Amino acid sequence: MIVPGYRDHPTERWDPIAPVDPGEAEDFLRQCYLENPRLGPVEPRLAIVRAQIAATGGYAHTTEELAYGAKMAWRNSSRCIGRLYWRSLVVLDRRRARTADDIFSLLVHHLRVAGGGDRAGAIRPVISIFAPALPGQPYARVWNEQLIRYAGYRTDDGSFVGDPRNEEFTAAMQGFGWQGKGEAFDVLPIAVETPAEGVRLYELPERAILEVPLTHPEFGWFAELGLRWHVVPAISNLRLTIGGVQYPLAPFNGWYMGSEIGARNLADENRFNMVPIVAARMGLDTSRESTLWRDQALIELNRAVLYSYEKAGMKIADHHTESQRFLTHLRNEEKAGRPVPADWTWIVPPISGGATPVFHRYYEELDLRPNFYLDPEAQALAQSGTRTCPFSG
């Protein structure tokens, strides 16, 4: 379904894209061809790319360069604990799509492939790469921070329904004419913006949204909380940069680590804030912090997430397993003679940090390219559904 949106945006407010830096192009191509001898010698390719940049300010990646560049960008993502499988990323080349309708149907396709297709739940890491931004020209983008996110509504009595993180974005979508059910897990519409069409809102079809209702292995009452979460986390507002070329629309996904849902999305005070509710249902002594009621409730919430996804046949990983995989990745990369940039504050899981091996060491903090970046404008759009960031003055 399409919700009518508005069709004007002043072109001067687009982030101007600079011409490609030939040095960055060369660095990328040298590394890409070095790591992939079957691509042949890099020198002839460099000559072509240098000429293209000189003539047009940009250059076009070959299919192989695009695919390997996307994998390198994942490999270089210092906040991601799940990088062991970087080589298996499925890269969908969508550079020819132009209209909002085409883009949206390819996003639906992305979610279907990512969700395992006919083998629903066999989650595959996938990236769809749309057209690069050309110097000085406006480009297509998706406003949402993820393809699937839940709406958040402040009700008249001051209470809250849904995900508070998306309150402003939800209000902006309502301002464009979208109407949610007003329930706790209403999937937000996707806002696709193209230079020719402005922003258009699309409702995802049900078949594109895998979700799991949460139950607990022992607590029968847990189902009554009415909790659920989606299965595919597909980040849609980071700019992919490969060899100096900018891809502002390149949504990608992996599978969830349970603690992202159980220890953050459903637990954080400024998200679904379920810890006190679970603790009350468990009958815990919440009169003092030192009973560790928060920790007990958190663990049960996380057990419910892992249990429910596994029972539903939906791929998910626990934080112990994912930590061990990350150490394997570190060893693999060391053998290959490559550094592994990592941000300790993101790598260490939000529960039982010290019980996982990733806690007990330091990491190199490097900003290597290719990589993914969050632009201030993309951040403002995902947060508030408007171009101007309210906090940037």
Residues at the contact surface with ligand ARG, assessed by CB under 6 A:
82, 233, 235, 254-257, 260, 265
Query: What is the Cα–Cα distance from 245 to 309, expressed in whole angstroms?
Result: 38
Under 8 Å between Cβ of 131 and 140:
yes
Q: What is the distance, to the nearest Å, from the Cα of residue 6 to the centroid of all Cα atoms in its chain?
A: 26
CB of 317 to ligand ARG, least distance (A): 8
User: Closest CB to ligand ARG among 166 and 241?
Assistant: 166
User: Is 32 noted as a catalytic residue in this protein?
Assistant: no
Please state the closest distance from residue 229 (CB atom) to ligand ARG, in A.
8
CA-CA distance, 368 to 221, in Å (whole number)? 48
Per annotation, catalytic residue among 14, 75, 80, 178? 80
CA distance 237 to 378: 6
Catalytic hit among 83, 149, 165, 303: 83
Amino acid at 290: S
Rounded Cα–Cα distance for residues 284 and 281 (Å): 8
Q: Please, what is the minimum distance in Å from the beta carbon of residue 212 to ligand ARG? A: 14
**Residue with Cβ nearer ligand ARG (148 or 192):** 148
Catalytic site residue from 255, 293, 322, 369:
255
Closer of 164 and 243 to ligand ARG (Cβ): 164
Active site residue 260: yes
From the CB of 260, what's the least distance to ligand ARG, in Å? 4
Nearest residue to ligand ARG by CB is 254
Nearer residue to ligand ARG within complex by CB, 88 or 179: 88
Give the β-pairing of 190-194 and 141-142.
antiparallel
To ligand ARG, the closest distance from the beta carbon of 237 in angstroms equals: 12
The distance of closest approach from Cβ of residue 141 to ligand ARG in the complex, given in angstroms and rounded to an integer, is: 19
Residue closer to ligand ARG by CB (options 251, 254) is 254
Measure the CA–CA gap between 185 and 212, rounded to whole angstroms: 11
Catalytic option among 65, 145, 260, 377 = 260
CB of 232 to ligand ARG, least distance (A): 9
Catalytic residue set: 80, 83, 255, 260
